[in-house]
Structure 1
Amino acid sequence: MKHRCFWVTDSKLYQDYHDFEWGVPVYDDETLFEFLLLETFQAGLSWITILNKRENFRAAFDDFDYQKIAKYSEAKYNELLQNAGIIRNKLKIRSAITNAQLFIEIQKEYGSFSNYIWNFVNHEPIINKFHNKKDVPATTELSDTISKALKKKGFKFVGSTVMYAFMQAIGMVNDHTTNCFKYPN
Structure 2
Amino acid sequence: MGSCYCDIAPGHPLHGPYHDHEYGFPQRDEPVLFERLLLEINQAGLSWETILRKREGFRLAYDGFDVDTVADYGEADRARLLADARIIRNRLKVDAAIHNAGVIRGLRDTHGGFAQWLDAHASESSRPRDKASWVKLFKRTFRFTGGEITGEFLMSLGYLPGAHRAGCPALRRIAAARKALGV
Give the shorter-chain TM-score range: 0.7 to 0.9
Structure 1 residues 4-48: Cα deviation after superposition (integer angstroms, max 9, x where no partner): 713426421210011111111112222111111111111121111
2:132 corresponds to:
144
Secondary structure, counterpart of 1:12 in structure 2: coil
2:171 alignment counterpart: 183
Q: Report the counterpart of residue 180 of structure 2 in structure 1.
A: none
Q: Which moved more, 1:21-30 or 1:56-65?
A: 21-30
**What is the DSSP-based 3-state SS (H/G/I as helix, E as strand, rest coil) of the residue aligned with 2:81?**
helix
| Matched residue SS, 1:45 | coil
Structure 2, unmatched stretches of 5+, are 176-183
Question: What displacement does 1:161 show?
Answer: 1.1
- Residues 47 and 72 of structure 1, relative CA distance in 2, 3 Å threshold: same
Report if the CA contact (8 A) 2:82-2:90 is conserved. yes
Residues 82-126 of structure 1 deviation map (CA, whole Å, 9 limit, x = unaligned):
101100001100110011111111221111111111223339xx9
Using the alignment, how far apart are the partners of 1:30 and 1:99 within structure 2?
12
1: CA distance between counterparts of 2:170 and 2:60?
30
Match of 1:114 in 2: 115
Match of 1:105 in 2: 106
Which residue is equivalent to 1:161? 148
Equivalent residues of 2:54, 2:86 under 8 A apart: yes
Aligned position for 1:138: none
RMSD across aligned C-alpha pairs, in angstroms?
2.1
1:40-55 equivalences in 2 (<5 Å) = 40-55=41-56
Mapping of residues 24-35 of structure 1, within 5 Å: 24-35=25-36
Q: For structure 1, list consecutive stretches of 5 or more residues without a partner in the other structure.
A: 127-140
Aligned equivalent of 2:22 = 21
Instruction: Output the TM-score relative to the length of structure 2.
Output: 0.82
Distance across 1 between alignment mates of 2:160 and 2:140: 23
Residue aligned with 2:14, SS: helix
> In 1, are the aligned partners of 2:31 and 2:64 still within 8 Å (CA)?
no
Normalising by structure 1, we get a TM-score of 0.81
Identity %, equivalent residues:
38
Tell me the amino acid that sits aligned with residue 164 of structure 1: G
Distance 2:119 2:94 in 1: 26
- Structure having the higher helix fraction is 2
1:134 maps to none
Contact kept? 1:95, 1:157, Cα under 8 Å = yes
**CA distance in 1 between partners of 2:27 and 2:159 (Å):** 8
Kept in 1: contact 2:138–2:150 (CA 8 A): no
